[in-house]
Structure 1
Amino acid sequence: MRFILITLLCLCGLQAVEKPNVIFFAVDDMNDWIGPMGSKMAKTPNLDRLANMGVTFTNAHTAGVYCAPSRTAIFTGRNATTSGCYTDQVYFHNHPEYMPLQVAFKNGGYDTYGVGKLFHHPVGSIDPRGWTEYYLRTEDQKKNGWPVETWGYEAPLPAKVPASKFNQADKKWKGRPFMEVGAIPNEKEEEIVDTLRTNWACKIIKKKHDKPFFMALGLYAPHYPNYAPQRFFDMYPLESIKHGPWKEDDLDDIPEPEQKKKRARKAGIHDKLIKLGIVEETIQGYLAAISYADSNLGRVLNALENSPNKDNTIIVFWSDHGYAQGEKGNWGKHTMWQRTTNVPFIWAGPGITKGQKTAYTSSLIDMYPTLTDLCSITPDKDLDGESLKSILANPAKSPERTIFIPYTEPKSYTVVNEKWRYIKYKEGGEELYDLSKDFHEWNNLADNPEYKAIKEEMITHGPKEFALIGTSKKKLKLVFKGDSYEWVKK
């Protein structure tokens, strides 16, 4: 049928236009410590290579400040303020009418392949609709709600677990991998689950396809636990590691309710790391995990280069959010500050300028409308993002733009552009930072009357309405249906 269509178009004097393939490459918890974003913290030769192939957005931001809401926003094309999915809500239960990204591609004539952490990782988080194939490495996973289980099912682990002194010092530690860092023997690298998933994706990418394909690959790295092959730890000798810029009294000028929460968290993590003398070891593990993720990107780029699809494939690389490494005493995400919201965001492929950077303010929520625009397929209606197609074609002419990022509850959000960040908390507290002079957000200007007009202008870009919080996963139960499942109310 495809051959007949092409023949008819040629006979009519028209040229058949092949729709591009798409590689949708996700990582978890990767901040802006990478070469394409101007940092020398992490060694990322393959991200550098991808950046030379396309456009890097240096001022790109998450659509949610931790995994579940960010990924929900990406796949639905809707902010939490529209969907009500602020935390653990299951969008395909609460909003079955939404057409997620993979279904849009399926309806547009694509074969759709999924593997790894694309949605959140607990049981029942992956939207099972619209996939030609979703790779699960065990039969148990297929029958039990498609858990990601990166470090379960006999995946290789460090010789001693817990491997981190942070967790070894915790007498109540029960296997929670937060702040867990450790090396895995190099000879076990091919058994690590992110490697297995990448290799499976590479097999699909190398094939000659009768239809265009959408390949979505989600790595768990550099999410905790920061387990990676020893060779990546060796890239970062402890004596060479320096933490990023910290300001000891950095929490003093933020709103009181938030200050109280962050001081408690700082005491439990940041101060403990310093007391144990393992700040450098902890950062070493994070950097090793970034470089391990980068090496898997290299496998994908090599597979594409040696495939019949190399000239007609779009690649978009993204992290679901950033990750703090001690800034404001924070280790992790769940904040509306720069280190949490700023993310790696790199595009390459046909129609995309090569080797360019842009400071255009963009959001991961823009991926849905951009991909459907580039691939000439029909998106869902009423998406919240905007297509970046024109920016990708000519990044030098990018206009100014202001975006907002929802928090984990209604009436709390941040608004950001190239120069300013404004943060609003539902309790009434505010923060305002001049990013052109204060990239590290050390000086909160919200209470300074000199900046009243700036603050009021930023507020105009915030949400006008806030959707109510949707049905929590705690109020649902998972019903298994063969190799699939559905959520129903308890």
Structure 2
Amino acid sequence: MAFFNLKSQRKLPLYLSAATCVTSNLLPCTTTQVSAGDTSQNLNILFIATDDLNDFVGAMGDQQAITPNLDRLAARGVSFNNAHASSIYSAPSRTSLMTGMNPSTTGCYRDQFFYLEDPSIIDLPGWFKNNGYTTSGTGKLYHHMHGCIDLRSWDTYTMWDPSLKKKGWFFNFWGPKSPSPKNRPLSPATRDMYKDALKRNPNMKNPLPHMDFGPIPNNDEPKMADTIAAQYAIDFLANEQGSKPFFLGVGFYAPHKPNFVPQKYFDMYPLDSIKEPPVLENDLEDLPPHIQKRLKRRANRENKLITEKYKIKKETIRGYLASVTYVDAQIGRVLDALDNSQYADSTIIVLWSDHGYHNGEKGLWAKHTHYERTSHVPFIWAGPGIAQNKTVNTTVSLLDIYPTLLSLAGLPENSRTEGIDLTDVLIDPSIAKDRPVLQISDHGTSVITQEWRYTRYNDGEEELYHLTTDPDEWYNIANKPANQNIIHKLAQSLPMNPKEPGVNTPKKLRQVIVGENWHWVSKEVESKRKSKKATKIGTN
């Protein structure tokens, strides 16, 4: 493999001016963009996203997940084993990563479109495109449907339903049509959760994904959304991409629920081999009252059904593990294609997940919490000049992807990004230093270091966990007088003057694409068909 000196490469004067504005027929130029010079020698980028993948990865120390391809990727690069997502929800986590900015900066705490809130924001692929890269994407990179994107950022992006260009996309997550078992939902807990909806509509198929799992026939694997996304990447890498370097984004849906994957992946996990996480009785009793109420409501809805009423805890975990191994196989197909391509020695790989996942820890399932199980994610880098078979245990943030990729590619910095450049650590992981990173929601913020997790909610209530001695976060020690100095120190990292939440997009707007432009249509107006007029909310 050819070796690139990343330190020297990022200092090359590749661009004549960092303040040259590129005009666009999509949007008046309202922000500083850069004019690309000769990028023919720049590294390519393979940008791989997974959904709800926690640390059930062999290379991260998990003892039961079967992840040979994630493990081999980690062996050829650097795995950050203490990486954290910037939000407890999927949409703002992905928005934060793609913009390089915290939710408290953009106002995107839930389902807001960042390019509606602030059209001057240039997201990560947009920055690459503006600097001479070909950008191509497939699958779930943002939270919304394929094709519901900022058109300024992508040369090509697959659309699972092109007709929606004219009908309009909502921001809500809906995956492409994919094989699923008959008579779903299969999980008795899921059927119980949705029993009222099923009474109203026994044939209801969607939305019924929550906590559901089950095998599908092995011969359905080629029809699955992630299999198709992997094939898109395989075909892309097999073809000549011209003189420009590329940014290829590949977004996988798995292991997001429902965990419907081929039977062979379930067969890899005999039920009696499944390990359940340790739990502490009355674990939630030392939490702030409103958080205790919120989590007990979730536990009563999910954990009691899964653990007590139907006793399918191992089955539910097995469904998740089977889905992890399925997506690992798709990642392996993409890695094989890269290794067999002309781009093998000139491509940086970064793999990430939008957040982690609870599989019964703290009596909780899924995500949306200010705990380690939600924030902790796989974060693996590999490619020319990057150290091999190394791990880093100091805290990092998914915010760091944006500035690091720009550095590795030799592109100008984006001064608006809030992460740090990890290039030096990728070259020499031994120099990594711990730092506080943030996990932000619309109701609180966590400050995370190797040793501590401190959460302050909007009402001033607090949680504090000493992760070194309490990795399961069982003992909230925020009220102990001896810890007030620690809290004061950690609180220095909380956002100052956080931005108010923006437009709750799914409830109010949809995006309509016409040619190379788009506009926002009010759903309230659209629902009043009698007027036969759709109000445009801004045009780009």
TM-score by length of 1: 0.92
Q: 2: distance between equivalents of 1:379 and 1:187?
A: 47
Deviates more, 1:426-435 or 1:169-178: 169-178
1:58-94 residue CA offsets vs partner (Å, 9 max, x unmatched) = 1100011111000110111110110010001111111
1:360-399 residue CA offsets vs partner (Å, 9 max, x unmatched) = 2110011011101110123433211111111111111112
1:159-209 residue CA offsets vs partner (Å, 9 max, x unmatched) = 331122222334224432111101110011011111011101111122232
- In the alignment, is residue 114 of structure 1 matched against residue 141 of structure 2? no
Report the AA paired with residue 484 of structure 2: K
Contact kept, 8 Å, 2:147 with 2:157, in 1: the verdict is: no
Contact kept, 8 Å, 1:164 with 1:181, in 2: the verdict is: yes
Distance 1:278 1:484, change over 3 A: farther
State the number of aligned residues.
474
Q: 1: distance between equivalents of 2:261 and 2:329?
A: 11
Q: Secondary structure at the match of 1:183?
A: strand
Distance 1:17 1:142, change over 3 A: closer
Distance 1:383 1:232, change over 3 A: same
Report the AA paired with residue 343 of structure 1: V
Aligned to 1:447: 479
Q: Secondary structure at the match of 2:231?
A: helix
Contact kept, 8 Å, 2:169 with 2:512, in 1: the verdict is: no
Report the AA paired with residue 290 of structure 1: V
Aligned to 2:315: 281
Contact kept, 8 Å, 2:39 with 2:244, in 1: the verdict is: no
Deviates more, 1:226-235 or 1:378-387: 378-387
1:121-140 residue CA offsets vs partner (Å, 9 max, x unmatched) = 35875333221110124433
Matches within 5 A, 1:184-263: 184-209=216-241, 210-263=243-296
Q: 1: distance between equivalents of 2:304 and 2:175?
A: 28
- In the alignment, is residue 128 of structure 1 matched against residue 151 of structure 2? yes
Distance 1:404 1:138, change over 3 A: closer
- In the alignment, is residue 306 of structure 1 matched against residue 340 of structure 2? yes
Report the AA paired with residue 445 of structure 1: I
1:378-424 residue CA offsets vs partner (Å, 9 max, x unmatched) = 34332111111111111111122111221124xx2000111111011
1:85 to 90, 108, 111: 108
Q: Secondary structure at the match of 2:284?
A: coil
Report the AA paired with residue 200 of structure 1: Y
Q: 1: distance between equivalents of 2:60 and 2:422?
A: 19
Aligned to 2:43: 20
Report the AA paired with residue 62 of structure 1: A
Deviates more, 1:196-205 or 1:138-147: 138-147
Contact kept, 8 Å, 1:420 with 1:434, in 2: the verdict is: yes
Q: 1: distance between equivalents of 2:230 and 2:421?
A: 28
1:307-358 residue CA offsets vs partner (Å, 9 max, x unmatched) = 0000110000000000111112211111110000010000000121000000
Contact kept, 8 Å, 1:123 with 1:145, in 2: the verdict is: no
Q: Secondary structure at the match of 2:350?
A: strand
Report the AA paired with residue 68 of structure 1: A
Contact kept, 8 Å, 1:22 with 1:315, in 2: the verdict is: yes
Contact kept, 8 Å, 2:165 with 2:514, in 1: the verdict is: no
1:27-81 residue CA offsets vs partner (Å, 9 max, x unmatched) = 0001111112111131100000000010000110001111100011011111011
Distance 1:191 1:484, change over 3 A: farther
Matches within 5 A, 1:63-462: 63-122=86-145, 125-145=148-168, 152-153=176-177, 155-169=178-192, 170-172=194-196, 173=198, 174=204, 175=206, 176-209=208-241, 210-274=243-307, 275-409=309-443, 412-462=444-494
Deviates more, 1:121-130 or 1:261-270: 121-130
Deviates more, 1:158-167 or 1:370-379: 158-167
Q: 1: distance between equivalents of 2:60 and 2:214?
A: 27
Unaligned runs of 5+ in 1: 1-8, 10-14
2:80 to 57, 60, 66: 57
Contact kept, 8 Å, 2:40 with 2:245, in 1: the verdict is: no
4+ long deviations beyond 3 Å:
122-125, 141-153, 477-480, 482-485
Unaligned runs of 5+ in 2: 1-12, 14-37, 199-203, 523-536
Aligned to 2:8: none
Aligned to 2:534: none
Contact kept, 8 Å, 1:145 with 1:485, in 2: the verdict is: no
Contact kept, 8 Å, 2:109 with 2:501, in 1: the verdict is: yes
Report the AA paired with residue 444 of structure 1: N
Q: Matched residues, percent identical?
A: 42
Deviates more, 1:76-85 or 1:16-25: 16-25
Q: 1: distance between equivalents of 2:123 and 2:58?
A: 32
- In the alignment, is residue 478 of structure 1 matched against residue 503 of structure 2? no
Distance 1:488 1:386, change over 3 A: farther
Aligned to 2:52: 29
Aligned to 1:5: none
RMSD: 2.0
Report the AA paired with residue 153 of structure 2: G
Contact kept, 8 Å, 1:126 with 1:146, in 2: the verdict is: no
